[in-house]
Amino acid sequence: MTNIRDLAKMAGVSVTTVSRVLNNHPYVSEEKRNAVFDAIKQSNYQQNINAVHLSMGKTFLIGVVVPFIEHPYFYLLIKGMSVEALENNYKLVLIQTNYMESRELEAMQMLKQKQIDALIICSRKCDWQTIEEYLPYGPIILCEDTRGKNVPSTFVDHYKAFLFAFDYLFQKGHRKIGYCIGRRSGTNSKQREMAFKEFTANHHLPYEHDYIFNHCLHFEDGEQVIHRITQMIDPPTALLVTNDDVAAGIVMCAQNRNLSIPGDLAIIGFNNQPIAKMMNITTIEIPLVDIGRKLFQHAIRQNSKIVYDEIPVKLIERKTV
């Protein structure tokens, strides 16, 4: 492997001059520039990017922490980041945690070790304190409401969104409303639970634990929901479902069981994924790809001013309410 020094020798110039040519810096005579180019061609030279990184203290790598990838919430976020990464000449390093804290720590370790320039945490298990501990080592961006904390974020106010959706259903006459989430202990889900408490309290409705359906991630999880509902003595008449795949699964299963939607059960999905459009599911649009892009932009932003980027959501009325 020929290196920059060999190149300099071949071209009869200094290493600095080669470096200037390589990086398109000014102050190189046409003559020498060409000499360098010739040498590059002859030698089939290739920069060792690690050396560049070591020298510059930067890798153009952004770490992305996700629990898993096989879920629209995460792969749509990643999709958005990918677009932005491409445009800014960065690459994404994927860190799949499966919600194991040790892997989240590993990711932060990478930041500390300077293997990545910044870290985007899409969802986490670890506590706030841990994150703060790693803050000095580089930008950490979160996809959750961090207002009041010293970490930039792009997020949806799920408390607000849920309250809005509950009210909408209430106006439509529903009094027994439940919801489906992926992971009860998540930060976002805690906000949703707060909204649920607030809503039921405001309207003097009972706070029904049974109306909360956990572990709803994919289309096929809709089956469990319908199954449980049909077994209930006093089932909910409306459901907020935090992703459209699950909503679609619910709608499909309901059909098979002759449960009328929205007659017997009203459904509001989330995300406005293509499947919601196709199946005519009323949904709350969350621009996940866009959120991914913005998360990434935070990650590479130079100015150290912390930005909390709340993303508004929008109700798309279709046929399931």
- Which residues here bind its own copies, judged by CB under 8 A? 46-51, 53-54, 59, 61, 64, 68-70, 72, 75-76, 78-79, 82-83, 86, 91-96, 103, 110, 112-115, 137, 218-220, 223, 248-249, 252, 255, 274-275, 277-279
User: Given the rule CB under 7 A, which residues bind DNA?
Assistant: 1, 3-5, 7, 12-17, 19-20, 22-23, 26-29, 31-32, 45-48, 51-52, 54-57
Question: What would the two tokens of residue 307 be?
Answer: 């930005």
Whichever of 43 and 96 has its CB closer to DNA, that residue is 43
Tell the smallest beta-carbon distance from residue 4 to DNA (Å).
3
**Residue 23 binding partner per list its own copies, DNA, none, with a CB distance cut-off of 5 to 8 Å that depends on partner kind:** DNA
Select the binding partner of residue 14 from DNA, its own copies, none (C-beta < 5 to 8 A, by kind): DNA
CB of 90 to its own copies, least distance (A): 10
| CA distances, 13 to each of 1, 9, 60, 71 (Å) | 19, 6, 29, 54
Q: For the CA atoms of 293, 144, 311, 295, what is the dihedral angle to 10 degrees?
A: -10
Q: In whole angstroms, how close is the CB of 35 to DNA at the nearest point?
A: 9
User: Nearest distance from residue 194's CB to its own copies, in Å?
Assistant: 31
- Please answer whether residues 143 and 154 qualify as being in contact, where contact means their C-beta atoms are separated by less than 8 angstroms: yes
List, in sequence order, every residue forming a beta bridge with 178; answer none if it has no partner. 239
Residue with Cβ nearer DNA (1 or 233)? 1
Tell me which of its own copies, DNA, none is bound by residue 181, counting a contact when its beta carbon lies within the kind-specific cut-off of 5 to 8 angstroms. none
Number of alpha carbons in the 13 Å side-chain half-sphere of residue 285? 11
Q: Which is nearer to DNA, 30 or 127 (CB)?
A: 30
Report which of 94, 97, 74, 67 is spatially closest to residue 243, judged by C-alpha positions. 74
Q: What type of residue is 223?
A: E
CB of 140 within 8 A of CB of 134?
A: yes
Minimum distance, C-beta of residue 55 to DNA, in the bound complex (Å): 3
- In sequence order, what DSSP letters do the residues of 87-149 get, joined into one string? HTT-EEEEEE-TT-HHHHHHHHHHHHTTSSSEEEESS--S-HHHHHHHGGGS-EEESS--TTS
Partner whose binding site includes residue 5, from DNA, its own copies, none (CB under 5 to 8 Å by kind): DNA
Least distance to DNA, CB of residue 46, Å: 7
Amino acid residing at 95: I
